[in-house]
Amino acid sequence: MSFIRNLFDYIDSLSARELVLKAVYLMGVVSAAGIIVSAVLMHKILSDIPSVDKLDEYTPSLTTYVYDVNNQVIAEFSVEKRAILPLSKIPVDMQNAVIAMEDQNFFRHWGISPRGIARALLRDVLHRRSAQGGSTLTQQLSKLIFLKPEKTLGRKVKEMVLALQIERNFSKQEILALYLNQIYFGNGVYGVQSASKLYFGKDVSEMTLGECAMLTGLIPSPERFSPFNSLERAKQRRHLVLQRMREENYITAKEAEAAEAETIPTEKSTLFASHAPYFVEYVRQILEPKYGTAQLWKGGMKIYTTLDLTMQVPAEDVMERSLAKYDQDAAKSKAASQEKDGEKDKDKDSGVEASSAALQGAFLILDTRTGAIKAMIGGRNYRDSKFNRVTQAARQAGSTFKPMVWMSALMNGYTPATMVDDSPMAYYYDGKDWRLLEGATDQYAIDLAIQPFVGNKDFKIWVPNDFDGKSMGRITLRHALELSRNLASIYLVTRVGPSLVADVAHRAGIKRSLDAVPSIGLGTSLVSPIEMASSFSTFANGGIHATPFGVLKVTDNQGRVLEESVPEEIESFSPQLSYVLVNMMKGVVQRGTGSYASKLKRPIAGKTGTSQDSKDMWFIGMTPDLTAAAWMGYDDYGSIPLKDWTGGGTVVPWWTEIMEAVLKDQPVRDFPVPEGIVFVTVDQETGKLALPTCKKKILEAFIKGTEPKEFCDAGH
């Protein structure tokens, strides 16, 4: 109290002039302190403000598009779905709608709106919230590009300073274009171009007034006002935008009324529905290591592929429908079996474990001449399993491997008319190799030969057989292939050597290591569908192997070409040997295990296949232009509980249905006949030249000089 009394006494002792001088001095000190404090605060706020000079070089995260061979979008790689357009490509209605709603004075202010800021600050004070609202388009742009999405006074100051700098360095048109390409429209899309494709399935330049108004209405809260979430709120927002545009004289009342009547979408455009997910992932795995994650996912590249959606889409539909039906039939069969005799988890016909999993499938179409991938289905549901059964699976090929054996035989002087043995045989393992038991040529002799070794763990015996448990004796090479005879295949492997068969398979297109053992002719080695399809296309392409590929061209976001593909070709077999083999494989479709495919009524060569215990079923078919491989089986290697053991009645029907759609507009062409091929009529049973009296005749292809010279017996 004494201090206060002394202070008042001191003031009373001062003259009026002294009192004024003291007051002025004190105010100066306080003002100086205030200026210093304000300067320190502003320095702290603005010390890390980014330079707008970088806006010239600013490249936002762009979407990379993947196209099919007809320039249809297959899929997108993006962190943020976005495309950049110049202002001239964006409809004037879209520009006006945004200005009317977000910043009516855009073309009149110099970056900030003092009135708007004051109004927003007053609202914030009254509601005791942090600074918000009152932003011009330029302020919003500075926030979107440079600043963190926080609501603080410091960020607001930075926003205004940046806005002033942007206005000083860029034109209004440049600022508006940046804003329209940057703004978020919900569902992961940024900018008006990507938003137009998502909501309306069209290019932004094609948008109507109503669509421009609807998009603009989304800006404050894209998820809340999205028509996918609330159609009513989307309509209300569109109405508000049109009303503001009318007030600003951008549109007439009649135009607003017409726009109000437009339909609002309630689901995403099909442009954003990805097809061929396994193929897209296959492409990603090839390109991402080359260009890096950032470039692929943010760089706005354009990837032009070999895929043809007109082939891919029907293939996806048919395969799924067919395998779903097999699942239903298998479930009914299992239930009936359990009800009948109490058998559980067993396939009564095969005696092996049946799978409880969903049946899987794979399908691939290659351009026979170039190796270009036209369709690829790696499984039934990519979301459930990303494992690509076309490229990553290692399955037994079964009898689809037999053309490798038959080519080996042709290279060793065999012809389609050569007689081969489809007779019982047995092999034993001597510790190094599998050797044929000499003299064991019938079941009785085999049983007698192996009897002393039954139960001996050190003595291994292999007795191959056919799916029907029978043998046909001496038959032609063609007939053995058409009927997919196992014993004949093993007979040939024994004569030409398993090492040659493995070499032929590698030259044709198989990349994996193969076991050079007698059973190689039964397709016991593990291969993938893409390897098998590639091998078959080598035969169909006159012996020229074309490496499968999926990418035609890649460009950057400026259209500069980064890479272009050229087919990789190598001559693996002579055109004559290849034609003779393919001509025999045509018989598989005409008369053999793949006869269901003959309903296509065009020249098709192919081969069915079933692996041990019916765990894999195949059909690979070829035209001169396309090679298509189909596989089905269980991922857990369970047996397919069906009675058809050749694959002809299981895989071939849905392969045929797919190819019916694929080939409907393709010209009907036969495989071209190379020079050095002659056609001779032979007896189907003996392979000898046919007489008019022969009952079963066929026009057979031979390499000139290898045709038979002996006639069959009269009346045969």
pLDDT digits 0-9 by tens, 58-115: 556 788 999 999 999 898 887 666 777 889 999 999 999 999 998 888 888 776 766 6
Q: What is the pLDDT of residue 129?
A: 47
Q: Tell whether 97 and 228 lie within a shared domain.
A: yes
Q: Tell whether 89 and 18 lie within a shared domain.
A: no
Domain span at 25: 2-46
Q: What pLDDT digit, counting tens, does each position of 486-524 carry? A: 989 999 999 999 999 999 999 999 999 999 988 899 999
Q: Is 622 helix (H, G, I), strand (E, B) or coil?
A: strand
Q: Is 1 helix (H, G, I), strand (E, B) or coil?
A: coil
In a domain, 113, yes or no: yes
**Tokens 């082939």 map to which residue?**
311
What phi and psi, each to the nearest 5 degrees, are found at residue 563? -160, 150
Alpha-carbon gap, residue 192 to 176, rounded angstroms: 12
Q: Tell whether 205 and 263 lie within a shared domain.
A: yes
Minimal CA–CA distance to 391: which of 377, 402, 401?
377
**Tokens 């092996």 map to which residue?**
352
Tokens representing residue 13 in the block: 């002792």
Q: Tell whether 187 and 41 lie within a shared domain.
A: no
Q: What is the pLDDT of residue 323?
A: 94
Angle at 143 between CA 142 and CA 147, to 5 degrees: 110
In a domain, 582, yes or no: no
Q: Do 708 and 681 touch, CB atoms closer than 8 A?
A: no
In a domain, 581, yes or no: no
Q: Tell whether 16 and 137 lie within a shared domain.
A: no
How many folded domains does the chain comprise? 3
Alpha-carbon gap, residue 85 to 627, rounded angstroms: 41
What does the DSSP assignment read for 518-582? GGGGGT-SEE-HHHHHHHHHHHHTTTEEE--B-EEEEE-TT--EEEE----EEE-S-HHHHHHHH
In a domain, 216, yes or no: yes
In a domain, 182, yes or no: yes
In DSSP terms, 687 is beta-bridged to none
Q: Tell whether 131 and 222 lie within a shared domain.
A: yes
Q: Tell whether 144 and 36 lie within a shared domain.
A: no
In a domain, 639, yes or no: no
Q: What is the pLDDT of residue 174?
A: 86
Q: Do 624 and 670 touch, CB atoms closer than 8 A?
A: yes
Q: What is the pLDDT of residue 310?
A: 96
Last residue in a domain, options 272, 288, 319: 272
Alpha-carbon gap, residue 703 to 409, rounded angstroms: 14
Q: What is the pLDDT of residue 51?
A: 55
Q: Tell whether 94 and 163 lie within a shared domain.
A: yes
Q: Tell whether 185 and 250 lie within a shared domain.
A: yes
In a domain, 98, yes or no: yes
Q: Tell whether 113 and 19 lie within a shared domain.
A: no
Residues in the chain with pLDDT < 50? 33-34, 37-47, 128-133, 147-149, 344, 346-352, 645
Alpha-carbon gap, residue 12 to 295, rounded angstroms: 79
CATH number at residue 176: 1.10.3810.10
Last residue in a domain, options 225, 242, 272: 272
Tokens representing residue 55 in the block: 């806006």
Q: Tell whether 116 and 216 lie within a shared domain.
A: yes
Confidence (pTM) = 0.74
In a domain, 327, yes or no: no
What's the burial of 640, exposed, middle or buried (CB within 10 Å: 0-12/13-18/19+)? buried
Q: Residue 129 CB: number of other CB atoms within 10 A? A: 11
Q: What is the pLDDT of residue 331?
A: 79
Minimal CA–CA distance to 631: which of 659, 661, 655?
655
Q: Is 633 helix (H, G, I), strand (E, B) or coil?
A: strand
Q: Tell whether 155 and 23 lie within a shared domain.
A: no
**CA–centroid distance for 633 within its chain:** 21
